[in-house]
Amino acid sequence: MICEIIENKKKYLPLLLLADEQESMIESYLNRGTMYVLEEQDVKVVCVVTDEGQEEGKRILEIKNLAVAPESQKKGYGRAMIEFVKKQYTDSFDVLQAGTGDSQLTIPFYEKCGFRKSHVMKNFFVDNYDHPIYEEGIQLVDMIYLRMNL
């Protein structure tokens, strides 16, 4: 079962750090975001979504953080969390958006879940993080946004 977490969101910091390794960045969206957790036996999944306002009359919901505990990855839990968010917000938002580094660990996952690349924020990881971020030995520079209609 997926539950909304209202209090003590920081309890899930170890999981949140898997998807976003700088704590100050997590803090920038944790309070204004809505957090969901799937926690059963050994499975742990966390997701934080934020209201990003409107663009050309379309209401944008953003996945700021999505993390599946390493031992539970590639078993469908990440997709299940996205399906939950879609269902939860289909009436109140028009577009679901996710931003990620240009990484083969995340972009294929979002594409498999039905997202399509929409736009790029140049130098996001260089300008907003206090240290270089590497994934699979490649430095993340630009933020790649993917979107789907709700």
> Which one of residues 78, 89, 93, 147 is an interface residue with ligand COA (CB under 6 A)?
78
> How far is 93 from 126, CA to CA, in rounded Å?
30
Q: What amino acid is encoded at 69 in this protein? A: A
| Nearest CB to ligand COA, comparing residues 79 and 86 | 79
Site string for ligand COA, 15-34 (x = CB under 6 A): ---xx---------------
Q: How far is the CB of 57 from ligand COA (least distance, A)?
A: 27
| Nearest CB to ligand COA, comparing residues 108 and 132 | 108
- Three-state SS string over the chain comes to CEEEECCCHHHHHHHHHHHCCCHHHHHHHHCCCEEEEEEECCEEEEEEEEEEEEECCEEEEEEEEEEECHHHCCCCHHHHHHHHHHHHHCCCCCEEEEEEECCCCCHHHHHHCCCEEEEEECCHHHHHCCCCCEECCEECCCEEEEEEEC
100 is a contact residue toward ligand COA (CB under 6 A):
yes
66 is a contact residue toward ligand COA (CB under 6 A):
yes
> Which one of residues 41, 74, 130, 136 is an interface residue with ligand COA (CB under 6 A)?
74
65 is a contact residue toward ligand COA (CB under 6 A):
yes
131-150 positions binding ligand COA, by CB under 6 A: none
Q: Site residues (CB under 6 A) for ligand COA?
A: 18-19, 65-68, 73-79, 100, 105-106, 108-109, 112
